[in-house]
Amino acid sequence: MARHHVLAIYPTIFTFNTQTVAQQASRSTPERVCHAGDCLTIHKAFSFHMPLKSGHSHRYKALTKHLGSRVHNIRPPAVAGTFYPAQPATLANDVRAMLAAARPTVVAGPKALIVPHAGYIYSGATAAAAYASMAKYAATITRVILLGPAHRVAIRGLALPGANAFATPLGTIELDREAIASLADLPQVGISAATHAAEHSLEVQLPFLQSILGEFKLLPLAVGNASADEVAEVLDRLWGGDETLIVISSDLSHFLAYDQATAIDRATAENILSLQPLQDYQQACGAIPINGLLLAAKRHHLRPQLIAQCNSGDTAGDRQRVVGYASFAFFEEPGNG
């Protein structure tokens, strides 16, 4: 695949602990151009999306008014041709090749995955290793809960897209209207079409899911300024059984020298494997949704396994400023399924 470039825009940088998230970056931070392998981005303008604050019935109507009997409001692909091929045949062949090359060693079907979201030339093989771990169990999965960090519009809470379906060059995926309705009483969940319009962290996962699962229903959430408890509450509400797969989209460290990134990413992997929360965005751009999953994993007795790990210096050659990638699978502990 050719190496592509994309103009990427990031709202702000947050540091946080398990209780709070504090805004740090200046609102006048300049834009920067970065590779499709670089997830961290900067935005000049701040358009914070606030969750709906009306009563349950009004929230239900707001969350479901766009979900008519026919799929007519489709979120089109935004990064086809930059992060991954836009031609359906090329995309399908590339995804199949990455999945075929993966050799994950797992003994059960995963309940949840953490996967990177850079351009496929950078992190596609790392993501494919995690998706290949669920291939044998794909027949049981009919719904995917997909969370990733909001890179281009700063938001409070978690945002639904206000669409009926997501499209990629491989086809259209219907959103799960019943699952969306089940979130109507959660104040941290709202609707922001603008947040999803150009967001790559969710979109780049879809061709992998389409290739393995075929037809399934999707619930995509862009995660902004939120606590681990708020994210975990959403995951608990949507947990389901074997039919439901949870996918968290996140890269690891950004723009560090190869050796420094390797050390930080190793520590981040150790945090995740011990279900210990990440401390800041130096570890992962998707630290907030990851921390929500780690909290939910403790509650539901999941054990994580590292599937694959590398950085862009391993896949794209430049080791001066790299982006870290890792994929993890989470399994139910025996006796707790």
- Residues (pLDDT < 50) of the chain are 1-36, 40-55, 57, 69-71
Structure tokens at 16: 């946080």
pLDDT digits (tens, 9 = 90+) for 90-126: 999 999 999 999 987 887 899 999 999 999 999 999 9
Structure tokens at 48: 């914070």
Instruction: Spell out a b/e string for 71-103, using b for 16 or more CB atoms within 10 Å of the CB, else e.
Output: eeeebebbbbebbbbeeeeebbebbeebbeebe
Q: How far apart are CA 6 and CA 117, in angstroms?
A: 14
Q: How far apart are CA 325 and CA 94, in angstroms?
A: 19
List residues bridging with 247 in a β-sheet. Answer: 113, 146
Domain extent listing, the chain? 5-332
Q: How far apart are CA 38 and CA 41, in angstroms?
A: 8
Position 337 scores a pLDDT of 54
* Contact residues for 173 (Cβ-Cβ < 8 A; gap 6+): 165, 166, 167, 206, 209, 210, 216, 217, 218
Position 71 scores a pLDDT of 45
Q: How far apart are CA 306 and CA 215, in angstroms?
A: 27
Class for the domain spanning 5-332: alpha beta
pLDDT digits (tens, 9 = 90+) for 44-59: 333 444 444 444 545 5
